Structures are given as structure tokens and as C-alpha cells.
Structure 1
Amino acid sequence: MNNIMYTLMALAGGVGLSFQAAINSRLSAGLGTQPLVASFISFGIGALCLGLVGLAMADWQSVGAGIGQQPLWRWLGGFLGAGFVFTSVFLAPRLGVTNVMFLFIIGQLTSGMFIDSLGLFQMPVRAAQWWKIAGLSVMLCGLCLFMFGERLVQLVRH
């Protein structure tokens, strides 16, 4: 049952990312095409929401005991998250939400398989099997068809 809930949670997260890109790109347009400012506002609201929920639910004693013991690389997540939000705000109106999300997914899967296969960042090692590479290749072909299908059809017709 947990795996079903985790799967649904991940799918909902993916839905949220697409909505976020569209909503934040419209915020940027409403602010005079300022994707950096829109990203900052979005990230600030998100941090505020997480902070309020964290106040109620987090074990702050454990946080206090461990926060100073973290290696520097563990603090990069916020930087990467901010970069993701900015990139989605900047690219969604230029490439379309679907294209941006498709590219994000391919990038996530490729880097995720790399991290898993090498056990980077202290993650458990999960071998990159041939079927995983084949599945990623099929998705890459799908991305090419999705993004360039119209041009391919026009080339075939001429």
C-alpha cells in the first residue's frame, strides 16, 4: 500500500511542477517579464509555507543537534531548487510547459540513473540495467517526436 501512495504522491508532484511552471510564468509576465523576481516570490512563498508546517511538525531538537554537522555539499539543494524554479519560469513561455517538463524529465531520469548507479551523495547503489537505459532511450525518441514531429512531417512531405 505504501508504494501505491508513494507513486501517487510522485505523480501529484509532477502535476504540481507543470502547474507551477505555468502559474509562475504568468506571474513573471504580470511583473513585466521578470522571471527572476517571479522565481524569488514563488520560492519565498514556498519557504514560508514549509516553515509554517515545519514549526508544527518538525523535531527541532534533532535539527538543532545535527544542523552544524552537515557537510557543505548538503546545502546545495536549495540552490538547485531555486535554479529549477527560475529555469521553469524562464523557459515555460519560450518552449511551452510540456516541452520544458519533458526536457526536465529526461534530465532528471538521466542524472537520477547516474546518481543511483554510482551511489553518489550517499544514496544506495542501484545498477543501471540495460532495460532502464532502453526505456530512457525510448523516452528520448518520444521527446524528439514530441518536440520536432511537425518538422519531421514537413520534411517527409517535401
Structure 2
Amino acid sequence: MRRVGARSSARGRVRDGIQLAGGQVSRGLAVALTAAAGGLVALQAPINSRLGKSTGTFPAASISFGIGLAILVAIVLVSGDIGGVARAGHGPWWALLGGALGAAYVASVLVTVRTLGAGGVTAATIAGQLTMAVIIDQFGLVGVARQPIDVSRVVGLVLLVAGVFLVVRH
């Protein structure tokens, strides 16, 4: 997190505020932070499932997103970059789909975690994420630099899918 003044960047304009995205950190720190966030995602499924037992699937998803929205609005207000919200329409239309994709994920996990368990849902999620990420890299989709699929990536995907079957097989 760093304070930034008004400036132009490849990712868009940033006014006075705190820049949380777009900066670069060391590879080791990036892996550690992402792994920690992944641990939180593993907690999210059973927590939301428990909420869903009390409220129902879609009310639980709505409550989960509502709390997340409240936290993010507070962060935007504290960071001083409320103008960034107004600039959301300046990018491609598909850049606004992240919330819809998140809602689809949370709603599906609320249903599947009762069958697969937290480990199964997490394993299947990671396999799906990595498979889609490799496809995105291969074709350079959604603004990502093209990185062709090679043998090591295919082997990694096969091993990951095998791991999912081992985790969910009982």
C-alpha cells in the first residue's frame, strides 16, 4: 500500500489516494500473500455454507457479498479514491464482470461444499482456476500477455486434476 498523487499509468488514472493494486512486490512476497488469501478462500466455503443453513443459499450469498461490499466501500473511502468508482466504465465492458463471476462462485460453493467438503471444493476450485488461467495465458485473453501452453503446464494440469479425484473420491 502506498500513497500516490495524480498521475497517469498503463492501468488507468490514479488520483490522490492509496494505491493497493498495480504495484509490484517481490515474487516470494507475492506467493506468500496469494497462499494466505487462498487459505482464506478455503475458509469461505464452509463459513458461507454454515450461514446458508440458517438463511438459505442465496440469502447467505447476498449477506456474504453485502459484508464484503461494506468493507470495500470503507477501504475506498479511507483511501481517498472514491473517484476510481466513477472511472469503472472507462475500461472494456467485460472488466465489470468480476462481481458476477464471484457471485456465481459463491453460490455454487454454497451448494457443493455440503457434498464435497471444504477440501474437495478447494481442490476443484484450484483445478478450475488453473485450467482457465492456462487457457487465458494461451490465447492472451482479457488483456493478459500471451504465454503458450507447454508440456510442463499440461503435466501440471493433469496432476492437479488427478489430485482433485484423489481428494473427492470417497
TM range (shorter): 0.7 to 0.9
Structure 1 equivalent of residue 61 of structure 2? 39
Q: Where is the helix percentage greater, Structure 1 or Structure 2?
A: 1
Structure 2 equivalent of residue 91 of structure 1? 112
Question: Paired residues, what number?
Answer: 146
Instruction: Write out aligned runs for 1:1-150 (5 A).
Output: 2-31=26-55, 34-61=56-83, 63-64=85-86, 66-148=87-169, 150=170
State the shift of 1:61 in Å. 4.0
Separation in 2, partners of 1:68, 1:96: 38
Structure 2 equivalent of residue 154 of structure 1? none
* Counterpart contact for 2:116–2:168, Cα < 8 Å: no
Q: Deviations over 1:85-125 (max 9, x none)?
A: 11112211122111111111111000000001111011111
Give 2:51's aligned amino acid. L
Q: Deviations over 1:29-73 (max 9, x none)?
A: 122xx1111010000000110110111115344554x33322221
Separation in 1, partners of 2:58, 2:103: 10
In structure 1, runs of 5+ residues without a counterpart are 151-158
Q: TM-score, normalised by structure 1?
A: 0.85
In structure 2, runs of 5+ residues without a counterpart are 1-24
Structure 2 equivalent of residue 153 of structure 1? none
Distance 1:5 1:39, change over 3 A: same
Distance 1:62 1:88, change over 3 A: closer
Bigger relative contact order (CA 8 A; separation at least 6): 1
RMSD: 1.6
Deviates more, 1:3-12 or 1:69-78: 69-78
Separation in 2, partners of 1:135, 1:7: 18
Q: TM-score, normalised by structure 2?
A: 0.80
Distance 1:83 1:58, change over 3 A: farther
